[in-house]
Structure 1
Amino acid sequence: MPGPESIDWDYVVVGSGAGGGTLAARLAEAGMRVFLLEAGGDPRANAARLPDDYDVPAFHAFACENAAMSWNFRVRHYEDEDQQARDWKHEVGQGVLYPRAAALGGCTSHNAMIFMLPHASDWNYIARLTGDLSWRATNMRRYALRVEDCRHRPLWRALRHIGLDPTGHGWHGWLKTEKSIPLTVLGDDGLVRVLRDTARTFTSSLPTPLLSTLRWVRRGLGDPNAWHMRSGSFEGICYTPLATSDRRRIGVRERLLDVAERHPTRLHIEQEALATRVLFDADGGANGVEYLKGARLYRAHAQPSDVPGEPRQVRARREVILCGGAFNTPQLLMLSGIGPAAELIPHGIPVRVDLPGVGRNLQDRYEVAVTHRMREPWEVLQGARFDRDDTLWRHWQEGKAGMYASNGAALGVVQKSSAATRGKAEPDLFCMALLARFEGYFSGFSKWIRDHPDRLTWAVLKAHTQNRAGTVRLKSADPLDMPLVDFHYFEEGSDSSGEDLQAVIEAIRFVRRMTAPLIKSGWIVEELAPGPAAQSDEALADYVRSTAWGHHASCSCPIGNASEGGVLDSTFTVHGVKRLRVVDASVFPRIPGFFVAAPIYMIAEKAAEVVLQHAYRTPLSAN
């Protein structure tokens, strides 16, 4: 019986994450034959702590460190060795841990499941940059509707049948979304005080508290995705919608398995298959992918194999679409001879297309922690070992709402920094209260969540960062090697005005104002980080430079003019290469919104539409 490689596939898609999985499923539903390559396996396979690490929302940090599906990239934040060494998370000779997932569903298999839509300006910027009006925010909204099946606005879900729906949510998509904190956890007096005092302090700081509260009610009682054309972007206190179904993780994995079951001849998922090179035909167009078949081949894997993979090839009649993410997509392009000639030649890689923008423009959000020790452990975490068969797990397994049904985020606050306010820009600060100790990524970071049930961490996130100086470069021509990643934080980057750093400092001071009543009442015993000694702007700046991290890498193969560093046109096509597209986090010219999963889902739905329109008007003989 012939293998799947011998079948005439319309599309070969590399990567099954938020971009590739969403795209492949939609193409197969439309009647196309799709061969999907995934370097990892099924995240719910029989391995230590699985499937619980995948299924249980509260276990997402443990999923990040689960050796069955972990790719542990090591990155640099600074080229300067002295500055890099000041980050306690840095491991000498390795760098800072940057968790990625090698699994069906990509990083949607271990992420915190937050589903927040980007800002209108993110899409309108691409429309202005390219002149392609289909990127306008008013048009892009419809792709969000194709994705979302909103379950956290039950009243409007019921009323939509009679034509009443002012929310702008999607109700028929493939991704269910729910609230992050079940109401049953509000019996914790400490948690109630955090929510109440934060809301009171935040509201009293507003110029018009009453009007602002009424606006907040109209915007959906903290629903950050409620859409009101005349109200602008959401600001204020919000909850974080999660991609869960009946309090269990749901994502691209479930979408792919559903489509593959319904259309087994159209969608083939080749797991444990590491793409190593794009293949080309005589006229220079992409027509396939070379890959290695085998488990744990890539050296980013938590437990890399020393068994060589089996070389294989798969061909595409129509197109090859790369969806490996901000690190692996530029690496694969460069290994295939597409990228900066000065980067390829030293590694002995023949230059097919000299495209300087590949691996440049790498961006991320800055995040820092403001961590506190509470007077007593959280009542809602009593008995939590973050393992199968503890009390909270049994409640979760029985369908009872509790903290294991949450990702740990109690609430979020969206606001503008001074620079964003002056520039009339979108909100750029997201401060999220976590019932855990979380201060970034390092080996064993998940144990802090289990071992410190009396911590409150405010995670401060700076969005719409000005720094665009990060790079992804080849370490070697060996496709098993990880690339060299350097984000060039703060002064090393392109933010000459220092707006990013100042905004993070402002956010830390804002969090301190919100927590002041809890400190005064004794519910917070002490601030552990940055700590009471860090009061001046200079001391806080030093704390931020030395501890900031990120986990939304993007923009390393951006849409834009090739002469200005762009890699793709507005249809996701690689400049200078026929039949080759990119659809993942790397395509954005500027990092969008606060959380990257939702915008990737949206561009994948848009890409599917673009690809299908091209296919319908282009016979295979002319392709």
Structure 2
Amino acid sequence: MFRFFSVLALTACLSAATSTANDHQPDKVTLLNDYDYIVVGSGAGGGPLAARLAIAGSSVLLLEAGADEGENVDVSTPAFYSAASEDSSLSWNFYVRHYKDNAQEARNSKATGSELLGIWYPRTGTLGGCTMHNALITVYPHEEDWTNIQKLTGDASWAPEKMRKYFERLEDNHYLSRDGPESAGHGFDGWLGTQVINRVLTAQDPKILAILTAADATLANHASPPITNARELEELYPVDVNTDVPHRDSTNGIYRPPMSTTDSKRSSPRDFLVATANAVNKDGSKKYKLDIRLHAFATKVKFQHQYGEPPRAMGVDFLDGQSLYRADSRSNTTGPGRAGSVNARREVIIAGGTFNTPQILKLSGIGPKNELLAHGIPVVVDLPGVGQNLQDHYEISTVVQFDDNFDLVENCTFLTPNTKDKCFEQYTSGHTELEKGFYATNLIQATILRKSKVAGNERDTFHFGGPGNFRGYFHGYTASIVEDAKHFFWATLKAHEKNNAGSVLLKSSDPLDVPQINIAYFESGTTTDNAVYLDMEPLVEGIQFSRRIYGNISSKPANEFVEVYPGANVSTVGELETFVRDEAWGHHATGTARIGADNDPNAVLDSRLRVRGVTGLRVVDASVFPEIPGFFPVVSVYMVSEKAADMIIQDNECF
């Protein structure tokens, strides 16, 4: 197994610890040896970056608050991703507010707590971060996402034609030919495996084929011949969704969604990290200087102050211990943790994610001055943009219940206790993707990318559908999704939201407290320039579009169903708007430490991801984006991580 430090190993324990802004500094502090780089967080941003820096020859310490759950069956099995998000061994429970008004918030069926906590927001604390529980959807962003950063900063290295190489570097494509017509813009030697659902598997279920036939007819706005076999199903998909072709971002189409899997198991930065940390030379010695410290919760960045110079990030303080953070459901059973500290010879990189990165920055004295002072935190740099600009994709689903089971799912119990799960037996005994069956998939049978009535030049709506009763995220949603084999959902995700009024605020100066998160939905958020209508309309239209798909199913028994969410009683535009306002959710939070222009007082980072006002400190995660990229931002974060590695190596060539 890869090398990681225990609390006692390779350390020196010194007394009289330096006081901090919190009370979690015991009498002795574990001091580690210095590293070139310290990376905080092992997810989509920090994981690939740490590996790349180590491969380039630097010594790297990766601090991860959680354990390694890579072999956990909930994590490794593609179809179990929802179970992974609720697995207490890795789940972190954040509760976000959509509205400040309690009455409006309580209208959401997913609202939690007798004293309203908000809406449960799935995150994980584990090696690999949230890439260990996501739905594996791997979709390249819009070119315009990179163009916007290029224009905002004047940095040509963010141009879309220069960013594509990072996707080619990281992808290990398993479903296209290297020399085939769809290979443009793809990679075949990277660390992230990609596969698509086997069309022969999909073709085994006539009801799903009838739904996809109806989807094709609805998108094309004319009758389509029935799809009855795998060959006809292949003709449904025009081109791979990630292939670099002209007009890709503006063309409506139906696609098989690529999944981040290798050999029908989850593929993630965790695999890249473990392979790098475990790599050895011919003599058996450790090949790369990458150390991974699990159960190490970063509490603050340390700064060196020298007269006339900006503060320099010199290291990180952390706590050793399991389940310390209060987002972990097991946190009340653990002690306070053992304090540690480590210095960086070159840089510290924060990759804690959209919620934790602004929390760490603020606890370190970087953030809005008044907020820091209110919590007794000494101000290192007054950066008002830290924790602001929180954005999220809006999502909503339309669920129907059929009279009969879906053939693909009827033998699947998703490891429900005291049941025989024939699907899991097939998955574990099969040798090929087809032989492994439904559990080798992420449930999603097809995606539809299209432009809504209010879209600009690019597609702004992502529909994804599959068997299951999916209505968003709440405690117990996994059991709801797989409660039977009769439900099917089409979910609508709206991209390029106009709303950026959310925030992440400190609850206290205690690093183990979970911050206060308000995404500020619809009228409670950005209201200028018709923002509410431009965000609401594609979701209402998405429900209507989904209903037309269901209505276009012509053959029995595939057309024998009843809509259960939102239900036939929600029919007028006004009723649909109310339903969306009450029930919409998201899980792609970004933007709380955003890149910006030099003259922007709310910009947290420059174009090289350096934190403004200090030296030796960068941020590399989903918080860096000025606007949410694409439909599923994880690929964009991977690309930024790869780009960050290049920039950091280049900027430190003098060492």
3-state DSSP class of the match of 1:276? strand
Mark the CA change 1:470 to 1:205 in structure 2 (over 3 Å): closer, same or farther. Answer: farther
Question: Is the contact made by 1:360 and 1:472 (CA closer than 8 Å) also made in structure 2?
Answer: yes
Aligned to 1:501, the other structure's residue is in SS state helix
Offset of residue 182 of structure 1: 4.9
- 3-state DSSP of counterpart to 1:595: coil
Partner of 1:383: 411
Aligned twin of 1:575: 612
Q: Aligned pair in 2 of structure 1 residues 457, 220: CA closer, same or farther (>3 Å)? A: closer
Between 192-201 and 390-399, the greater mean CA deviation after superposition: 192-201
Letter in 2 for 1:294: G
Change (3 A) 1:408 1:10: same
In the aligned structure 1, how far is the partner of 2:32 from the partner of 2:510? 27
Q: 2:566 aligns with which of 523, 530, 549?
A: 530
Query: Which residue is equivalent to 1:168?
Result: 185
What displacement does 1:217 show? 9.3
Q: 1:382/1:567 Cα in 2 relative to 1: closer, same or farther (>3 Å)?
A: same
* Map of 2:22 onto structure 1: none
Deviations 1:140-167 (A, max 9, x none): 00000111011121xx32x36xxx7653
Partner of 2:21 in structure 1?
none
Q: Structure 1 residue 266 and structure 2 residue 292: aligned?
A: no
| Mapping of residues 513-528 of structure 1, within 5 Å | 513-518=548-553, 521=556, 523=558, 524-528=560-564
Query: Is the Cα contact below 8 Å between 1:182 and 1:406 reproduced in 2?
Result: no
Q: Of the candidates 37, 48, 73, which is equivalent to residue 94 of structure 2?
A: 73
Percent of pairs with identical residues: 42
CA distance in 1, matches of 2:54, 2:236: 37
For residues 234 and 609 of structure 1, the distance between their equivalents in structure 2, rounded to whole angstroms, comes to: 33
* Residue 435 of structure 1, aligned match among 435, 453, 467: 467
Shift of 1:237: 0.5
- Equivalent-residue separation in structure 2 for 1:2 and 1:442 (angstroms): 42
Which of 471, 487, 503 in structure 2 is aligned with 1:455?
487
Shift of 1:450: 2.4
**Residues of 1 paired with 2:211 and 2:295: CA distance?**
45
Gaps of 5+ in 1: 46-50, 207-215
Kindly provide the amino acid, as one letter, of the partner of residue 75 in structure 1. Answer: V
In structure 2, relative to structure 1, the CA distance for the partners of 1:219 and 1:564 (3 Å cut) is farther
Conserved? CA contact 1:288–1:313, under 8 Å: yes
1:155-200: CA deviations, max 9, x gaps? x32x36xxx7653211111111000355224111111111122112
Q: Among 361, 368, 379, which residue is 1:340 paired with?
A: 368
Change (3 A) 1:428 1:200: same
- Residues 448-493 of structure 1: per-residue CA shift (max 9 Å, x gap): 1221321011111001100000000000000000000000000111
How many Å separate the matches in 1 of 2:142 and 2:36?
Answer: 34
> Quick one: distance in 2 between partners of 1:182 and 1:231?
22
Residue in structure 1 matching 2:327, options 284, 296, 300: 300
Letter in 2 for 1:612: I
Q: TM-score, structure 2 length as denominator?
A: 0.88
C-alpha distance in structure 2 between counterparts of 1:181 and 1:166, whole Å: 18
> Is the Cα contact below 8 Å between 1:114 and 1:240 reproduced in 2?
yes
Give the aligned length: 595
Asked if 1 retains the 8 angstrom alpha-carbon contact of 2:142 and 2:630, the reply is: yes
Say yes or no: does 1:398 pair with 2:426: no
Distance in 1 (alpha carbons) for counterparts of 2:149 and 2:423: 45
Aligned CA distance change for structure 1 residues 529 and 2 (closer, same or farther; 3 Å): closer
1: CA distance, partners of 2:220 / 2:499? 32
Q: Distance in 1 between matches of 2:187 and 2:140?
A: 12
Matched, 1:418 2:418: no
* Alpha carbons of structure 1 residues 592 and 218: separation in structure 2 relative to 1, 3 Å: farther
Quick one: structure 1 residues 218 and 409, their matched pair in 2 at CA, closer, same or farther if it must change by over 3 Å? closer
Answer yes or no: is 1:189 the counterpart of 2:219: no
Q: Classify 1:476/1:519 alpha carbon distance in 2 versus 1 (closer, same or farther; 3 Å).
A: farther
The structure-2 alpha-carbon separation of the partners of 1:181 and 1:501, relative to structure 1 and needing over 3 Å to count, comes to: farther
CA RMSD of aligned residues (A): 2.0
Q: Distance in 2 between matches of 1:12 and 1:475?
A: 26
| Residue aligning to 1:107 | 130
Q: CA deviation at 1:401?
A: 3.2
SS of structure 2 residue aligned to 1:412: strand
- SS of residue in 2 equivalent to 1:518: coil
Confirm whether residue 560 of structure 1 aligns to residue 596 of structure 2: yes
Change (3 A) 1:167 1:220: farther
| C-alpha contact (below 8 Å) 1:181/1:403 kept by paired residues | no
Please tell me whether residue 464 in structure 1 is matched to residue 496 in structure 2: yes
- In the alignment, structure 1 residue 545 sits paired with structure 2 residue 576: no
Cα distance per residue 1:540-597 (max 9 Å; x no partner): 0000000000001101100003634110000000010100000000000000000011
- For 1:402, what is the secondary structure of its paired residue? helix
Q: Which has the larger share of helix?
A: 1
SS of 1:451 mapped into structure 2: coil
Report whether the alignment pairs 1:7 with 2:39: no
Question: Are residues 539 and 520 of structure 1, via their aligned partners in 2, closer, same or farther at CA, if it must alter by over 3 Å?
Answer: farther
> Quick check: 2:191–2:269 contact (8 Å CA) kept in 1?
no
- The match for 2:349 among 313, 316, 321 is 321
Q: Whole-Å Cα distance in 1 between the matches of residues 361 and 222 of structure 2? A: 50
Write out per-residue CA displacement over residues 281-308 of structure 1, whole angstroms, 9 at most, x where no aligned residue.
1332001000000000000002213311
Deviations 1:256-280 (A, max 9, x none): 0000011645100000010000011
CA distance in 1, matches of 2:157, 2:251: 23
Post-superposition CA distance 1:390-416 (Å, at most 9, x none): 111111112223110111101010011
Secondary structure at the residue paired with 1:606?
A: helix
Structure 1 partner of 2:27:
none
SS at match of 2:70: coil
8 A contact 1:434–1:459 mirrored in 2: no
Q: Whole-Å Cα distance in 1 between the matches of residues 212 and 205 of structure 2?
A: 11
Question: Does the CA-based 8 Å contact 1:9-1:33 persist in structure 2?
Answer: yes
Larger displacement relative to structure 2 (429-438 or 385-394)? 385-394
Report the alpha carbon displacement of residue 203 of structure 1 after superposing the two structures with TM: 2.0
Partner of 1:367: 395
Q: Which TM-score applies when normalising by structure 1? A: 0.92
Q: SS at 1:437's partner residue?
A: coil
Partner of 1:54: 75
Question: Does structure 2 retain, via aligned residues, the 8 Å contact 1:286–1:579?
Answer: yes
State the partner residue of 1:504.
539
Which residues in structure 2 correspond to 1:8-47 (within 5 Å)? 8-44=34-70
Deviation at 1:219, TM superposition (A): 11
Residue from 134, 137, 152 that aligns with 2:175: 152
Kindly provide the amino acid, as one letter, of the partner of residue 392 in structure 1: C
Higher mean displacement: 57-66 or 425-434: 425-434
Distance in 1 (alpha carbons) for counterparts of 2:548 and 2:10:
66
**1:175-254 counterparts in 2 under 5 A?**
175-204=192-221, 221-229=238-246, 232-254=249-271
Q: Secondary structure at the match of 2:408?
A: helix
How many Å apart are 1:229 and its aligned residue?
Answer: 3.7
* Distance in 2 (alpha carbons) for counterparts of 1:205 and 1:469: 41
- Paired residue for 2:646? 609
Q: Which amino acid aligns with 2:600?
A: S
In the alignment, residue 88 of structure 2 is paired with which amino acid?
Answer: A
Runs of 4+ in 1 over 6 A off after TM superposition: 216-220
Task: Point out the more displaced range, 183-192 or 366-375.
Answer: 183-192
Instruction: Describe the shift of the 1:60–1:505 C-alpha distance in structure 2 as closer, same or farther (beyond 3 A).
Output: same
- 1:123: Cα distance to partner? 0.2
Matches of 1:67 and 1:168, distance apart in 2: 38
1:495 CA displacement: 3.9
Shift of residue 85, structure 1, vs aligned partner: 0.8
**Amino acid paired to 2:32:** S
